[in-house]
């Protein structure tokens, strides 16, 4: 889970607000319907927390607070376990699909050319 914080420097209203992106492991209880516990990994889940002044928090305290939040989001069927987090001070930059496809094609062409020359 990664956490992103957003800074708005134009109006200074949210200057210290940070987006925290938290990456969590999703676990599903396959024994739930039989009244048991058989937890199996089932991918990942991203959580986003907006917090003020979080960049000044002790990292261990921040991680423990995040773990408590994830525990509160969990239940008998689905559990979320902390993996990591990131403090994000800027909004994400989107790369259009067409641009990514062109970059990927260029990479693959380079691989093919290097393998055929080597």
| pLDDT at res. 10 | 31
Please name the residues in contact with 87: beta carbons below 8 A apart, sequence gap of 6 or more: 3, 4, 5, 18, 19, 20, 54, 55
What are the residue boundaries of the structural domains of the chain, listed by start?
2-117
Per the rule left: phi > 0, alpha: psi between -120 and 50, beta: everything else, 43 is left
Consecutive H or E run containing 17? strand 17-29
SS3 sequence of 65-100: HHHHHHHHHCCCCEEEEEEEEEEECCCCCCCCHHHH
| pLDDT at res. 79 | 97
The answer to whether the beta carbons of residues 35 and 54 sit under 8 Å apart is: no
| pLDDT at res. 41 | 97
| pLDDT at res. 91 | 84
| pLDDT at res. 98 | 96
Longest Cα pair distance anywhere in the chain, in angstroms?
61
| pLDDT at res. 115 | 82
pLDDT in tens, 54-110: 878 889 999 999 999 999 999 999 999 999 999 998 888 999 999 999 999 999 999
pLDDT in tens, 15-56: 678 899 999 999 999 999 998 899 999 999 999 999 888 878
Tokens at 82, concatenated:
């902390």
Only one residue has tokens 């990942």, namely 44
pLDDT at 7 over 50: no
């Amino acid at each position: 889970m990664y956490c992103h914080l957003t800074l708005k420097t134009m109006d200074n209203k949210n200057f210290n607000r940070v987006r925290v992106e938290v990456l969590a492991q999703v676990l599903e209880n396959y024994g739930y319907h039989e009244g048991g516990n058989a937890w199996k990994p089932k991918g990942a889940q991203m959580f986003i927390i907006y917090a003020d002044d979080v960049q000044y928090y002790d990292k261990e305290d921040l991680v423990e607070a995040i773990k408590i939040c994830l525990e509160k989001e969990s239940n008998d069927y689905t559990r979320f376990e902390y993996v990591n987090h990131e403090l994000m001070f800027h909004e994400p930059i989107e790369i259009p699909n067409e641009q990514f496809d062109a970059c990927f094609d260029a990479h693959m062409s380079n691989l093919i050319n290097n393998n055929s020359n080597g």
